Amino acid sequence: MHAIEKILAKNSGRSTVSTGEIVTAKVDFAEINDLYLQTVYSFYEMGGEKVWDPERAAFVFDHYAPAPDMKSAANHDEMREFAKKNHLRFHFDTNCGVCHQVMPEAGVIYPGMIVVATDSHTTTHGAFGAMGTGCGATDMATILITGELWFRVPEIIEVRLEGQAPKGVYPKDVILSVLGKIKADGAVYKAIDFTGSYVESLNVAGRMVICNMAVEMGAKTAYMQPNEDVLKYVAERAVRPYEVQYTDPDFKYEESYMFDVSALEPQLACPHSVDNVHPLREVVQDGPVAVNQGYIGSCTGGREEDIREAANILRGKKIPEYTRLIVVPASSEVMLSCLEKGYIQDLMRAGATITSPGCGACLGAHEGVLAPGEICISSTNRNFPGRMGSNQAKIYLASPAAVAASVLNGRITDPRQYL
């Protein structure tokens, strides 16, 4: 069996599982973000009285943090009362950050577990050798009552990434390139196992970027065999014992794709689809693409490594007048570290706006939404019409370095000249 199948078998109390089977498996951790107050209502409608295990569930207030309107504030208030009533050990309020960042930081994500959250980008946690997937309010209420959920054992495809990325090519460029070839419907309800020498050498942040965007291909979950960086990160933080599930080297995938990252160049996902991917060079060769705003943040592009790259490009320089750069650290831990190292100060001196950790404008909620006709280059994970505000705005997805270089020039720019 593959590691994903081993995890499902273990948590469903079975020795084996096979593709296409429906199993009922124990959930090791459940997370509800502040878009899903309906989970609380469904919990009571289904006869729920107490959360099955207060050690294994948490709310994260990240999409509307801090609350931008009265409705969001009221939702937060009801969720807090539920968390208090159920004595949840973990609660991540508006001071913490994005769910997919704060959960690993808190040590609740570890290899061999099943984590389910009310967010499609829960595939991020495959970076740690976990099975992470999203669900809706009713399924989450079922988990809160029983600690279990049904799963269909997914087909598993391999995305093998070999080689060493050239300077100026980041994990975001790699996953955009993959997306451009496999497309948005290429892995619907399948699991993607990212393998190869490039994956083995990636740090935790890079792995999270790639697993995060597996869902943009339709994937139900993602997986990477934990490397030394991951095992060290988890060992320093994990709140409970865990078992690493390694992939059998003889496993036969439903499909395999191979990519050589050594010849890759900076990529762009162009409006209005995540899989509308082209080399940045090709996009700008017919003429400059002016930008109104750059955005560095989210569960894809708001980690310390991302903010550092932007600071290195913008240090000692000034963003042009009438051009904006919004920087949203993925968590308070990230923000504190970036403050200690001077990255935030460098960006502020260059003219960037720094906002509190959270999702912000990534979903068009607040702190950087777009007006009709505006063009934004962003380190986030989606560029559908209306994603960051007006449905008449255009969003290009790129690495944080490309965002910084583009804002500096007021037009989409290859970051390699600044590195």
C-alpha 288/C-alpha 285 separation (Å) is 8
119/116 Cα distance (integer angstroms)? 8
CA distance linking residue 103 with residue 58, whole number of Å: 9
For position 57, what pLDDT does the model report? Answer: 98
66 preceded by cis ω (within 30°)? yes
> What is the predicted pLDDT for the residue at 362?
95
The two structure tokens encoding residue 245: 């599930």
In a 13 Å sphere around the CA of 67, the CA atoms on its Cβ side amount to: 12
**pLDDT over 90 at 232, yes or no:** yes
Report DSSP letters for 274-338, one per residue.
TT-EEEHHHHHTTS--B-SEEEEEHHHH-SHHHHHHHHHHHTT--PPTT-EEEEE-SBHHHHHHH
Q: What is the pLDDT of residue 249?
A: 81
The first and second tokens of residue 381, run together, are 């994970």
Residue 294 · residue 403 · CB < 8 Å: yes
Rounded CA-CA distance 171/388 in Å is: 22
Whether 39 shows a pLDDT value over 90: the answer reads yes
Confidence class of residue 415 from pLDDT cuts 50, 70 and 90? very high
Query: Does this model's pTM top 0.85?
Result: yes
Radius of gyration of the chain (CA): 21
Is-contact 103 233, C-beta < 8 A?
Answer: no
Q: What is the pLDDT of residues 156-198, one digit of tens each?
A: 999 999 999 999 999 999 999 999 999 999 999 999 999 999 9
> Which sign does the torsion angle of CA 88, 134, 213, 412 carry?
negative
C-alpha–C-alpha distance, residues 304 and 334, integer Å? 6
d(CA 62, CA 67): 9
pLDDT at 247: 81
Segments of 75-228 assigned E as strands:
114-117, 131-134, 148-152, 156-162, 191-195, 221-223
Place 16 in a pLDDT band, splitting at 50, 70 and 90: very high
Q: What is the pLDDT of residues 123-132, one digit of tens each?
A: 999 999 999 9
What's the one-letter identity of residue 143? I
**Where do runs of H (alpha helix) occur along 130-227?**
137-146, 171-182, 197-201, 204-212
* CA pair distance 167, 233, nearest whole angstrom: 25
pLDDT tens digits for 257-300?
Answer: 999 999 999 999 999 999 999 999 999 998 999 999 999 999 99
Does residue 206 surpass a pLDDT of 90? yes
Residue 139 in this model has a pLDDT that exceeds 90? yes
Distance CA 381, CA 397 (A): 7
Q: How far apart (Å, rounded) are the C-alpha atoms in residues 353 and 327?
A: 6
Give the confidence band of 243 by pLDDT, cuts at 50, 70, 90.
Answer: confident
Sequence-separated (6 or more) residues with CB below 8 Å from residue 388:
295, 361, 362, 363, 364, 368, 369, 370, 376, 378, 380, 395
Confidence of residue 340 (pLDDT cuts 50, 70, 90): very high
In this prediction, residue 248 carries a pLDDT of 84
Residue 347 in contact with residue 317, Cβ under 8 Å?
Answer: no
* Burial class, 107, CB count within 10 angstroms (exposed 0-12 / middle 13-18 / buried 19+): middle
What's the chain's average pLDDT? 97
pLDDT at 299: 96
Strand 57-60 to 255-260 pairing: unpaired
* Closest alpha carbon to 377 in 330, 327, 412, 415: 412
Q: What distance separates the 2 farthest-apart alpha carbons in the chain? A: 63
Give pLDDT, residue 245: 80
Provide mean pLDDT across the span 354-376. 96
pLDDT at 244 over 90: no
Backbone angles phi, psi at 123, to 5 degrees: -55, -20
pLDDT attached to residue 352: 98
Alpha helices in 186-288 (DSSP H): 197-201, 204-212, 228-237, 280-284
| Average pLDDT estimate for 135-145 | 98
Residue whose C-alpha is closest to residue 1's, from 218, 197, 193: 193
